[in-house]
Amino acid sequence: MRHIYPLQVRWGDLDAFGHINNATYLTYIQEARVDFTIYARARKNQAPILFDMVVARAEVDYVAPIYEGGVNAHVEIWVHRIGNSSFGLAYEIHVDGQVVAKARTVQVTVDMNSKSSRPLHEAEKEFLQEYFHGE
């Protein structure tokens, strides 16, 4: 299963070259990740999950440029790896039915008191497993 996050490409996302700036794609996947773990769950009257995580790695493959603001797009997000204290997410950004970027991130769960990594809780693993599609 994949989580779908709809977004509208903002006019302000365009850079001086007339396309969406490369760093903006990281913002799009961040927004999708927050929706995946917090806002989509709130819409279903469920508590946020994986609130205490940090991004340890991010990579983006730019497939095709986006040349205009105001277009509707969406991010598809799924889990590709579940570890002891980390997990991997995969993303595709779509515009008009075309994949324009693919990304992957590695998140590490953190104990907010000690500021060090902590093991995934069983409920977190179960949530991630719902969206798992291995490599």
Residue 28 lies in a domain: yes
pLDDT band at residue 99 using 50, 70 and 90 as cut-offs = very high
Residue 135 lies in a domain: no
Q: What is the pLDDT of residue 72?
A: 93
Q: What is the dihedral angle through the alpha carbons of 82, 115, 27, 77, rounded to the nearest 10 degrees?
A: 20
Q: What is the pTM of this model?
A: 0.93
- The 3-state DSSP composition of the chain as helix, strand, coil percent (nearest 5) reads 25, 40, 35
Report pLDDT digits (tens) over 14-68.
999 999 999 999 999 999 999 999 999 999 999 999 989 999 999 999 999 999 9
CATH code for position 103: 3.10.129.10
Q: What is the pLDDT of residue 128?
A: 97
User: CA 67, 99, 106 angle in degrees (round to 5)?
Assistant: 110
The residues near 114 (Cβ < 8 Å, ≥ 6 apart) are: none
Residue 64 lies in a domain: yes
Report pLDDT digits (tens) over 58-69.
999 999 999 999
If one counts the domains in the chain, the total is 1
- Give the CA distances from residue 109 to residues 13, 48, 51, 114, 131, in Å, rounded to whole numbers and listed in that order: 30, 14, 9, 12, 17
